[in-house]
Chain A
Amino acid sequence: MSTTAPERPGTRGRAVVRLGPASGRLRWRQVLVPATVAVAVVLLGAVGLGRGDFPIGVGDVLRTLVGLGEDRQRFIVLELRAPRIVVGALVGLALGLAGALFQTFARNPLASPDVLGITQGASVGAVAAIVLGGTSGVGGLLGGLGVPLAALAGALATGLLLFVLAWRAGIDGYRLVLVGIALWAVASALTDWLLTRAEVFDATAAYVWITGSLNARTWDQAVPLAASLAVLVPAALATSRSLGVLQFGDDTARGLGVRLVRAQTGVVLIAVGLTAAAVAAAGPIAFVALIVPQIAVRLTGGSRPPLLTSGLLGAALVIGADLLTRTVLPTALPVGILTAAVGAPYLLWLLVRGRRSTS
């Protein structure tokens, strides 16, 4: 293996790696930033295992992890906190990746599953299951599915609708955003309509779900989420090469030999799948997919949100925000409220500054 940084044009801050038939270029920031964020995720997770309403010391946490802890500590660490942290990290990873895929593909920092109506579609499914559960017809059917599956169905249905409606011999990023905003409006109207019909108890439950929460997550949510990400994350990372060319617009991308329809379909379906999996597990944790890719691209430099860094940063944001709501804030808020409180001003700043064009 040879690692060289020759005095060649355009290789500043990069290493060229060649190993047998494989070769590639790495920018140091694209290695150092995700490595740092990954360490942060591990640290936040470790802190999260010990902190909460019943603080447990580092030594006890470690003893519990290797199977030597007391029963009460074992229950708190392994059954309450660990699945919550794992779900939080995976949800953040999925949302960060989905946001990076959509934003790069649409060449628009507004394109995220929040804005495109996919998470709203999940809300329709979940709220319908909560409110209409036990009744007859479609509502009863959704209620029978259970909230996570109903949310998954809502997100996938909206995502497919987005795909079909935005399709016109390929997908134009601008059109995708416009269609998505329209779908978002329809889905939020549906959610509101369902809430007005709800009993008070159901409405409260629905509201908690809509804000996105990691409360009472168990391994039952973590395992299916991990299984779907095991497929979707490698698939997402594999689109990186064609995304780099899709960024140039359809004609240039096709001129460079990209099979446009196949590449676009792949990117959109993977992003919809990631969003649906995340939302089914924890509800629509707001703005993570919108802000994380933009922060990631500013950290790593370059011309597009880095996929891996966006995912890791999403994980750090979600478990960090959850840790804050559990420890620092006086009442245990759903994590989605905190991410929205950070995300909404950021969105405004993005719109006001308007630096990145939509073209």
Chain B
Amino acid sequence: MTSLLDPVADGAGPVRLAAESVSLAYDDRVVVRDLDLQLTEGSLTVIVGPNGCGKSTLLRALGRLLRPARGQVTLDGRAIQQTPTREVAKVLGLLPQAPVAPEGLTVADLVARGRHPHQTWLRQWSRSDESAVAEALAWTDLTELADRPVDELSGGQRQRAWISMALAQGTDLLLLDEPTTYLDLSHQIDVLDLVERLHTERGRTVVVVLHDLNLAARYAQRLVAMKDGVLVASGTPAEVLTEDLLAEVFELEARVVPDPVAGTPMVVPVRRLR
């Protein structure tokens, strides 16, 4: 596996966001150890790994929500923890796992909150705010639902609304923590198609934490596998998702066959290894 550990995976474009020898801990419990990861302009990276491997923790650190115990995260070469949080919020947007909207909040209001880093006490609704929100709503196909309360939407629509908020924020980078949680398969596809379009049509640099390996393989430009807080493999889905890696990282005996639709690797589980 070591040949796949090169942190500068796809190599194209400048590095926007990087973890440099990052160790992450909650209190004394170390979750991620000495991890290096570089995310280049315009890439779509999917992070996978078993439960508790530290993938969500890593994403929180990349989004400056968690201060590394050691090492640092840099955004465009600057230490992210030393950059004013509002400046970061204009460049980097993030969506936590299963976010909850306050009851009664309309879709349009939710999306409008994405403009918060661009607003001041005096300038709370500029023309650019207005057009960004209208565009984000239209782009996520929510214009018709703009005046509906978020809590009345279906799970898939709700997740689209949150993505729309992140889009209205107008950031180059977007970090998504398991955006498909609690969704049925067709809505998972719906959300991931939207994320892919953000990447291809809007040129966003996207990092997604995902559970489902087959969906990860289908959508990822670059796949990163983690286990026990360590980065185990990084590369194209075909390079990373091998039978050996599945055994090592997921303790799973599995066959890897080409996805009949996309041609990406598809995991067919056989049995759990002990």
Contact = CB atoms under 8 A, between A and B. Distances in A.
Q: Verify that A and B bind, or say they do not.
A: yes
Interface of A: 8-12, 16-18, 21-25, 107, 238, 241, 244-245, 247-249, 251-252, 254-259, 297, 301-304, 355-357, 359
A248 B116 CA distance: 12
B100 interface: yes
A259 B87 CA distance: 11
Interface string B84-101: 011111100111100111
Contacts of B60: 251
Given A249-B100, A251-B96, 4 more contacts: A25-B124, A255-B63, A257-B89, A302-B104
20 contacts: A9-B143, A10-B134, A10-B137, A10-B147, A22-B123, A23-B123, A238-B121, A241-B116, A244-B113, A245-B116, A251-B96, A254-B64, A256-B114, A257-B87, A258-B116, A259-B85, A303-B101, A303-B104, A303-B105, A304-B102
Interface string B127-160: 1011001100110000100110000000000000
Contact of B102 (A12, A107, A251): A107
Contacts of A359: 100
B99 A303 contact: no
B125 interface: yes
Given A9-B146, A10-B108, A24-B124, A256 B102 contact: no
B77 to A, nearest CB: 20
A256 B117 contact: yes
A248 B137 CA distance: 19
A255 B65 contact: yes
B169 A256 contact: yes
A21 B120 CA distance: 10
B109 interface: yes
Interface residues of B, number: 49
Interface string B54-69: 0000001001110000
A258 to B, nearest CB: 7
B212 to A, nearest CB: 23
A23 B169 CA distance: 18
A256 B86 CA distance: 7
Contact of A23 (B104, B107, B125, B138): B125
A10 B96 contact: no
A244 B112 CA distance: 11
B239 to A, nearest CB: 31
Given A254-B65, A303-B103, A357-B103, A245 B85 contact: no
Interface of B: 60, 63-65, 85-90, 93-96, 99-109, 111-114, 116-117, 119, 121-127, 129-130, 133-134, 137-138, 143, 146-147, 169
A142 B57 CA distance: 50
Q: Which 6 pairs from chain A and chain B are nearest by CB?
A: A10-B108, A257-B89, A303-B105, A257-B117, A9-B146, A257-B86
Contacts of A107: 102
B73 to A, nearest CB: 14
A356 to B, nearest CB: 6
B107 A10 contact: yes
A254 B266 CA distance: 37
B31 to A, nearest CB: 16
Contacts of B124: 23-25, 241
Contact of B130 (A8, A238, A254, A256): A8
A248 B121 contact: no
A247 to B, nearest CB: 5
Given A256-B89, A258-B85, A247 B102 contact: yes
B130 A16 contact: yes
A294 B65 CA distance: 32
Nearest to A9: B146
Contacts of A256: 89, 113-114, 116-117, 169
A248 B114 CA distance: 11
A259 B93 CA distance: 15
A257 B126 CA distance: 18
A262 B226 CA distance: 35
The winner among B87, B124, B129 for most chain A CB atoms within 10 A is B124
Contacts of B117: 256-257
A10 B93 contact: no
A249 B123 contact: no
A24 B107 contact: no
Contacts of A255: 63, 65, 89, 93-96
Given A10-B109, A241-B119, A356-B103, A257 B90 contact: yes
Contacts of B87: 257
B123 A248 contact: no
Nearest to A257: B89
Contacts of A248: 99-102, 113
Contact of A25 (B93, B125, B127): B125
A301 B104 CA distance: 8
A12 B109 CA distance: 11
A46 B123 CA distance: 38
Nearest to A242: B116
A120 B102 CA distance: 29
B160 to A, nearest CB: 14
The winner among B90, B117, B130 for most chain A CB atoms within 10 A is B130
A297 B117 CA distance: 26
Contacts of B64: 254
